[in-house]
């Protein structure tokens, strides 16, 4: 299917772009080509192919040596292997850096702790929301870097290590891998998913500390704490960040940025509450072993407090991604920083972290926009990592519900302004009514009709629509779709992700209503011209929906493009070369006449009552209670009771 899609996707010169026509020598038809022929000129393996595959990278010119002797098959095979290795290396080396003249967007999501598996509330609160926005920005043609990683230092890690009888490093390795696997299953498109227990974290964190020390924003104070295997209270000296002295700089930043960056109201309220209480010196050191060591002779046996070093992790993880990390993090004139998190993290990102960076006196890229979620509650209670209540990331895989359905449900239920509730009944309703009956039904009706044989359909070929401008129903639809697209852009630009998704589903509903009102099945027999207009417009809407929904359901979008016989890497865009969206408001122009679509297939499956009942029972109670139920059931089965 992918091969057929590539063959059917016609490429024509585009004004304003560099248009490259590549040829390879035409092979004779008097024999089967050997490896020497293949490496010498085949369009699958030579400069033509390598150049095309490497276009996204900064490599501008690639040459592949021609094997001159047919007898040198081993050399030819080695050359093929080398070319494949070079192509792989080139792909891995395609580092995203800010580009002058383009909108450069740096996206972060709050770094999850490594003391447990993330539950669905964690996923929608940070990484999934950030992913939807990063994907949207890429879809608009912006230059995007999406950064996240695991927060690995601090007391929580040491405690978890003691619980599991291993070292903090082993705990970090274990749970970093678990988090990474969960996010990969949810199709989160990080450019890098790193970790804070790295040499780069130590280097960046200590560098910032030394700048604060040099600029006299730190003070010393004595605290009492419980120490020793036999608990006793002892005095211990610590370093503090003087937030009161930084207040003027901080308030100026907040006043300007919260308006310009359209901060969410819950972020503004949480920040103002902290400021109203009055800023106090904040301790930045701890008497622990697992953390970034303090580069100061007096405090060499201490580490930095996790609240101080964790946000610096965004920077250090970027430095693991590229040695040119400062082009992202010390470039406020050309980079916009968007940060995603749950409401508990707000003060650390609107007060602590900016104060830390402002105190260095350096030209840091400070947060422009913060997007904050409230709590996603579970059935009659709350998600809880501590108690193990709710559906966790690794549990979602065991439900046999595709990640696209999970992504859709979580994003449409995103707690943007107030707490929302996860229930299995609601998940079933949204899957069956919104995905299956609305979106899936529209796409399948359109593609199935076009795919019918020519006596009853169009033989899988998109028809022409010369009379579209005079087709009243279609023009009325276009006007409505145009307004909805404008609303979608406005919502997503303002990081109102839940509303953006709702608008796209409204476009799908408009498509269903358009099909129903047109009665295309009758038009095919009575007015072929009008039927062709309806079908060409509708297949354009199918493509438009695949584009607009890619930030929310990327696998769904890829599946739709496959059924349209289009290559996702080359065709997923509703903007023109200049980033304009006007073409999207003329859906009949999105898929050319004569284009041959692929084979239609259902995109979603319904959730049955029995399955939902089973899932509700399976995930009732805490993880410990579920484990006990499983063990009891296994014993009963073993004893044939």
Write down the pLDDT at residue 23. 74
Write down the pLDDT at residue 245. 97
Cβ–Cβ < 8 Å for 251, 191: no
The H-or-E segment that residue 158 falls in is helix 155-164
CA 492 to chain centre: 14
Measure the CA dihedral 239/245/246/250, to 10°: 130
Q: Which residue has the higher pLDDT, 285 or 572?
A: 285
Whether residue 87 is predicted with pLDDT greater than 60 in this model: the reply is no
Distance CA 426, CA 406 (A): 12
Structure tokens at 51: 């150049």
Write down the pLDDT at residue 21. 80
pLDDT band with cut points at 50, 70 and 90 for residue 619: confident
Among 36-50, 81-95, 119-133, 425-439, the range scoring the smallest mean pLDDT is 36-50
Write down the pLDDT at residue 201. 98
Whether residue 6 is predicted with pLDDT greater than 50 in this model: the reply is no
The percentage of the chain sitting over the pLDDT mark of 70, rounded to a whole number, equals 79
The H-or-E segment that residue 272 falls in is helix 265-277
- Give me the count of residues in the chain: 641
Residue 297 DSSP label? G
pLDDT band with cut points at 50, 70 and 90 for residue 620: confident
Whether residue 521 is predicted with pLDDT greater than 80 in this model: the reply is yes
Give tens-digit pLDDT for 576-603: 666 678 888 999 999 999 999 999 999 9
- Output the average pLDDT for the chain: 86
Write down the pLDDT at residue 75. 64
For residues 173-186, give the mean pLDDT: 96
Write down the pLDDT at residue 635. 62
Which parts of 375-527 fold into alpha helices (H)? 393-398, 403-412, 424-429, 441-451, 472-493, 497-518, 520-526
Residues 6+ apart with CB under 8 A from 271: 254, 258, 263, 346, 347, 350, 351
The percentage of the chain sitting over the pLDDT mark of 90, rounded to a whole number, equals 70
Residues 6+ apart with CB under 8 A from 534: 471, 473, 474, 514, 515, 518, 520, 523
Distance CA 349, CA 48 (A): 48
Write down the pLDDT at residue 236. 86
Whether residue 60 is predicted with pLDDT greater than 90 in this model: the reply is no
The H-or-E segment that residue 556 falls in is helix 554-563
What domains lie within the chain, and their CATH numbers?
Answer: 102-394 (3.40.50.620), 441-596 (1.10.730.10)
Whether residue 639 is predicted with pLDDT greater than 60 in this model: the reply is yes
For residues 371-385, give the mean pLDDT: 81
CA-wise closest residue to 264 among 190, 338, 334, 328: 338
Whether residue 632 is predicted with pLDDT greater than 90 in this model: the reply is no
- Kindly give the interhelix angle for 472-493 and 497-518, rounded to the nearest 10 degrees: 170
Burial class, 9, CB count within 10 angstroms (exposed 0-12 / middle 13-18 / buried 19+): middle
Whether residue 265 is predicted with pLDDT greater than 70 in this model: the reply is yes
Structure tokens at 573: 């865009």
Residues 6+ apart with CB under 8 A from 601: 563
CA quadruple 121, 123, 126, 130: dihedral sign: negative
For residues 545-549, give the mean pLDDT: 97
Q: Which residue has the higher pLDDT, 73 or 141?
A: 141
Among 160-174, 185-199, 232-246, 452-466, the range scoring the smallest mean pLDDT is 232-246
Among 5-14, 265-274, 554-563, the range scoring the smallest mean pLDDT is 5-14
Cβ–Cβ < 8 Å for 289, 309: no
Distance CA 568, CA 573 (A): 9
Model pTM score? 0.82
pLDDT band with cut points at 50, 70 and 90 for residue 48: very low
Residue 461 DSSP label? B
Burial class, 499, CB count within 10 angstroms (exposed 0-12 / middle 13-18 / buried 19+): middle
Neighbours of 226 (CB within 10 A): 8
Distance CA 105, CA 126 (A): 17
Whether residue 31 is predicted with pLDDT greater than 50 in this model: the reply is yes
Write down the pLDDT at residue 395. 87
CA atoms within 13 A on the CB side of 76: 20
pLDDT band with cut points at 50, 70 and 90 for residue 250: very high
Whether residue 91 is predicted with pLDDT greater than 70 in this model: the reply is no
Whether residue 55 is predicted with pLDDT greater than 50 in this model: the reply is no
Distance CA 16, CA 638 (A): 71
Distance CA 248, CA 126 (A): 30
Whether residue 494 is predicted with pLDDT greater than 90 in this model: the reply is yes
Write down the pLDDT at residue 241. 98
Give tens-digit pLDDT for 135-156: 999 999 999 999 999 999 999 9
Q: How far is CA 596 from CA 393, 453, 462, in A?
A: 39, 13, 6
Query: Residue 104: what are its φ and ψ, rounded to 5°?
Result: -105, 120
Write down the pLDDT at residue 119. 86
Write down the pLDDT at residue 430. 98
Distance CA 338, CA 160 (A): 31
Give tens-digit pLDDT for 188-212: 999 999 999 999 999 999 999 999 9
Burial class, 89, CB count within 10 angstroms (exposed 0-12 / middle 13-18 / buried 19+): exposed
Write down the pLDDT at residue 575. 73
């Amino acid at each position: 299917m992918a091969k057929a899609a590539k063959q059917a996707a016609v490429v024509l010169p585009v004004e304003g772009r560099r248009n490259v026509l590549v040829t390879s020598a035409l092979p004779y038809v008097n024999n089967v080509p050997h490896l020497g022929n293949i490496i010498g000129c085949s369009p699958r393996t030579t400069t033509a192919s390598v150049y095309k595959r490497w276009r996204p990278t900064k490599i501008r010119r690639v040459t592949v040596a021609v094997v001159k002797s047919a007898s040198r098959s081993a050399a030819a095979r080695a050359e093929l292997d080398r070319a494949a290795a070079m192509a792989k290396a080139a792909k891995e080396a395609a580092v995203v850096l800010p580009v002058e003249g383009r909108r450069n967007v740096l996206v972060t999501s709050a770094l999850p702790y490594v003391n447990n598996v993330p539950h669905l509330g964690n996923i929608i609160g940070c990484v999934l929301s950030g992913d939807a926005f990063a994907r949207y920005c890429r879809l608009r043609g912006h230059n995007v870097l999406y950064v996240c990683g695991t927060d690995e230092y601090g007391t929580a890690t040491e405690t978890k290590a003691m619980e599991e009888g291993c070292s903090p490093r082993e705990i970090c390795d274990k749970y970093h891998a678990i988090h990474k696997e969960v996010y990969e299953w949810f199709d989160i498109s990080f450019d890098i998913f790193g970790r804070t227990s790295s040499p780069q974290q130590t280097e960046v964190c200590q560098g910032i500390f030394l700048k604060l020390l040099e600029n006299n924003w730190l003070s010393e104070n004595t605290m009492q704490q419980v120490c020793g295997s036999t608990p006793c209270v002892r005095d211990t000296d610590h370093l503090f960040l003087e937030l009161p002295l930084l207040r003027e700089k901080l308030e100026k930043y907040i006043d300007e940025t919260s308006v310009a960056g359209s901060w969410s109201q819950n972020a503004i309220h949480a920040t103002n509450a902290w400021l109203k209480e009055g800023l106090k010196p904040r301790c930045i050191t701890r008497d622990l072993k697992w953390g970034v060591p303090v580069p100061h002779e007096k405090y060499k046996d201490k580490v930095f407090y996790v609240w101080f070093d964790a946000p610096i992790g965004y920077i250090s993880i970027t430095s693991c991604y590229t040695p040119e990390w400062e082009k992202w993090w010390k470039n406020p004139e050309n980079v916009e920083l968007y940060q995603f998190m749950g409401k508990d993290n707000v003060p650390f990102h609107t007060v602590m972290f900016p104060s830390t960076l402002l105190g260095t006196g350096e030209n840091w890229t400070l947060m422009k926009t913060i997007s904050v979620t409230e709590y996603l509650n579970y059935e009659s209670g709350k998600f809880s990592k501590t108690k193990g209540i709710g559906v966790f990331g690794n549990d979602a895989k065991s439900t046999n519900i595709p990640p696209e359905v999970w992504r859709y449900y979580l994003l449409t239920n995103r707690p943007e302004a107030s707490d929302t509730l996860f229930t299995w009944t609601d998940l079933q309703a949204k899957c069956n009514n919104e995905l299956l009956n609305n979106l899936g039904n529209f796409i399948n009706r359109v593609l199935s009709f076009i795919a019918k044989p020519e006596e009853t359909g169009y033989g899988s070929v998109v028809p022409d629509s010369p009379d579209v401008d005079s087709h009243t129903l279609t023009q009325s639809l276009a006007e409505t779709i145009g307004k909805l697209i404008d609303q979608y852009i406005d919502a997503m630009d303002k990081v109102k992700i839940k509303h953006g998704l709702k608008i796209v589903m409204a476009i799908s509903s408009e498509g269903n209503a358009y099909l129903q009102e047109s009665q295309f099945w009758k038009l095919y027999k009575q007015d072929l011209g009008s039927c062709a207009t309806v079908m060409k417009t509708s297949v354009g809407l199918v493509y438009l929906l695949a584009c607009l929904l890619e930030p929310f359901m990327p696998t769904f979008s890829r599946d739709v493009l496959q059924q349209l016989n289009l290559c996702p890497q080359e065709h997923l865009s509703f903007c023109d070369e200049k980033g304009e969206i006007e073409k999207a408001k003329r859906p009949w122009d999105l898929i050319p006449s004569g284009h041959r679509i692929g084979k239609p297939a259902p995109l979603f499956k319904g959730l049955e009552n029995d399955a939902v009942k089973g899932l509700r029972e399976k995930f009732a109670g805490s993880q410990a209670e579920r484990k006990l139920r499983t063990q009891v059931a296994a014993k009963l089965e073993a004893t044939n009771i």
